[in-house]
Amino acid sequence: MAVHPLVQCERISKHFGEGDTRVDALRDVSLDVYPRQVVALLGPSGSGKTTLLNIIGCILDASSGSMAFDGETVLSEGRWLKTNLRQLRLHNIGFIFQFHNLIPFLDATDNVALVLQLAGEEAGAARARAVELLDYLEVGHRRNAMPAKLSGGEAQRVAIARALANRPRIILADEPTAALDSKRAGIVMDLLRKVAVEQEAAIIVVTHDEKIFDWFDRKFILRDGRLETDDADPASAGVVTVEGGGGGL
């Protein structure tokens, strides 16, 4: 069956300031990311990678351009069509950060369950879902550990579990392996690829980390706010043919 992009950006631009102080962070960026793809946003510091990620994550306004999630337009001519962006983020987008940003006074289970409770899940069901995710990411044995007692790799897995809690199909990761050694970085990327396939998700990773480049289906390079793409057919790169319903978690 035909597959349409989960994330579709069309001519996204973003500038800060006006007149002599104006800085063009993004210039007419167009990008399609399909189900089951893991793609990289590469480029030097200040090239606009995090700006683009934050617009896709509905955290930052665009100056112009349009964006659709799973065929539904959410941004048109630089204006949000949804009035409640918090709910849009909560139910559609998972975020993974370079430094896991776990809440220090909550154990691993409650760090994950909190996201579900914010979305309206009952506490018991939220904790059960959190435990299921931690087991899925092979860190269930640390479910009662506080963040300070987790290794770097364990903390990042808990952060991934949190990102997956509400079953988002769009996952955005900002330098998720920068603080990890090669072995742990590989484990994280293996997990992201597994999630992309099993959840039919689109995963976008901002990174400078050359040791993980082989894990990506496609690589995009931002230079001075302009996007350069690889030569792959965007709909055929990676595993994007969907048969039947979604599985996994």
Sketch the domain layout of the chain as residue ranges: 7-228
Pairwise CA distance, residues 48 & 222, whole Å: 7
Confidence of residue 236 (pLDDT cuts 50, 70, 90): low
Q: Which two tokens stand for residue 11?
A: 């001519």
The single-letter code of the amino acid at 198 is E
pLDDT attached to residue 90: 82
* CATH architecture entry for 7-228: 3-Layer(aba) Sandwich (3.40)
pLDDT at 17: 87
- Identify the weakest region by mean pLDDT among 57-61, 87-91, 136-140, 157-161: 87-91
For the chain, the helix, strand and coil percentages under 3-state DSSP, each to the nearest 5: 35, 25, 40
Q: What is the pLDDT of residue 242?
A: 35
What's the pLDDT tens digit per position in 176-220? 887 778 887 888 888 889 889 988 999 999 998 888 888 999 999
156 pLDDT higher than 60: yes
pLDDT of residue 2: 59
Concatenate the DSSP letters of all residues of 79-92 into one string: EES-S-HHHHHHHH
Assess whether pLDDT exceeds 60 at residue 249.
yes
249 with 133: CB under 8 angstroms?
Answer: yes
Ramachandran area for residue 94 (φ above 0: left; ψ -120 to 50: alpha; else beta): beta
pLDDT for the residue numbered 179: 72
pLDDT at 10 over 60: yes
Question: What's the pLDDT score for residue 101?
Answer: 86
pLDDT confidence bin for 235, thresholds 50/70/90? low
Whole-number CA gyration radius for the chain: 18
